[in-house]
Structure 1
């Protein structure tokens, strides 16, 4: 039975094909990336962030963004959404040429990470994103805004809640339809999740405006996800098999594994539409492609049962 205080259903925003693969040492072929995304969709995932239009110099793993999208039928399944990350207007130009309908921008809650990841100051990032979002909205493109380092920064330490909320509110107000709250280093705990989401609510951003993006560095990602469910959050970022994450965040472990999240949701009676066994088989296949085992505990457990 679903606990009365929790949502009946959630949307999983699958990031394995973009955020997961971008930090892998082994370059995955375009063919395998396309197959990965198709298999994720077959397992029931309806929102899959397919790639990024960042310059190949910075993320070589995603240099084939146009080829990946060309190999997918962007208009063939109206129930499937394939957003892409764009860093700036040049990235938006490429996204528009590829025919995408949803993009995401990636901001920072701290000045140091903004300078390292965006080559902009904390304040200057808003001026960089503003024309990108305005042009995308004018073209009928939906925009999501990520805000990273919400619970701590490797260079600046703890990040004040008020600072995170101010940055997030400003990114959202540029014209985003949703703000994804990122625990980039995996430092969050359930109490801190409650506090931050409560502060966003007090600033006028409700549960339907927000998503959460947890990393499992300290083993807290599932506990933090439950805390977010208690706060009414209905969109959860996750990565099939716990594939990795940001290449500019030293010490960050992999993303929350989608299978682990779905297993918990299934146990709570919360609908996600995802077949956890089919997804685990996909993650096992990708792990073999990468030459290392999946970090997902559910993938490991199901594989052991099949052995």
Structure 2
């Protein structure tokens, strides 16, 4: 039995689906049973609901598991505390293996959510568990927040300069890599950077979506202050907003640059290109 924490989010659902496709038994740990039906359809045979800081819920989740894939909610202020609680529960229950969903370049202190993941990696290294760490870059799927704007207005809006270069990855590729690592031997004590593309400017990203849509799409920079006002109106909490603003500013200074070779080796094929992802999205959204 493989336990997937944070299974109700987009990453968790993708990993559950990828594990189910490989015939692996999956237990999904979620905050609410409202996700249960979808996760059962995706391949989860068991659903456990509870909070990550509830020792009883964690014990129910980890009991009898042979491996854990740990995903913390994105930009969570509780990343370190939740990981510590899970490591304790896994150790007490005798779960031997834990694969951690980290992030590309967690050593960048200017991005607090990256830095917190590095602290979790440090805890795992001293935990005594059989660990593997996956470090995915930004998802191609994140670009879809701008999909309607690209379709209607031909604009791809980002809260940093359009020259900023980011490596992207298809979430489906990340999930497949996670399933491979969880169901095959030979990945103990490994740390894998998961990038699907070389660093791309926002101009290149916009043009790639434009080709898939058969229309001109241009990248447009939005001021951080303007983004912050929109985020407040959307109800995004202070910690998340402030952390994301720090990320945008770090992106503006240095980008987020990765190399697709490791992911290609894990998958046994080239990672999904942004052009293929954009074409796939255009065909399904038509």
Give the TM-score, by structure 1 length: 0.34
Higher-Rg member (1/2): 2
The structure with the largest strand share of the pair is 2
The structure with the largest helix share of the pair is 2
Higher relative contact order (CA 8 A, sep 6+): 1
